[in-house]
Amino acid sequence: MAKLRTFTLRKNPRTNRRDLTSDTSRRTLRSFPLKAHATASGVLERVLLPAGGSVRIHKQNGQFVEERTYPRSRDPKRSRG
């Protein structure tokens, strides 16, 4: 299985918005006004398809909260949790 592309969703202190950035290029793919807008109703899935990938979601203070894999079928089977 090919390695998944990784992305990070965290707050940008300069713009006060949530930025979805690629971990390899550090380039912002999309910006959202709130974390709820990014995680609701499959928005992240539509941004990452067709290639898919793994998104690390951070709190407003920068702490890691959760990691989601899109599409779900590409989630590693041997991962813990």
Could you tell me if residue 1 is inside a domain?
no
Distance of alpha carbon 53 from alpha carbon 44, whole angstroms: 10
Could you tell me if residue 30 is inside a domain?
yes
pLDDT of residue 43: 82
Could you read off the pLDDT tens digit of each residue along the chain, which spans 81 residues?
567 788 999 999 999 999 999 999 999 989 999 989 988 877 887 877 667 788 899 999 999 999 888 776 666 666 665
Could you tell me if residue 25 is inside a domain?
yes
Could you tell me if residue 77 is inside a domain?
no
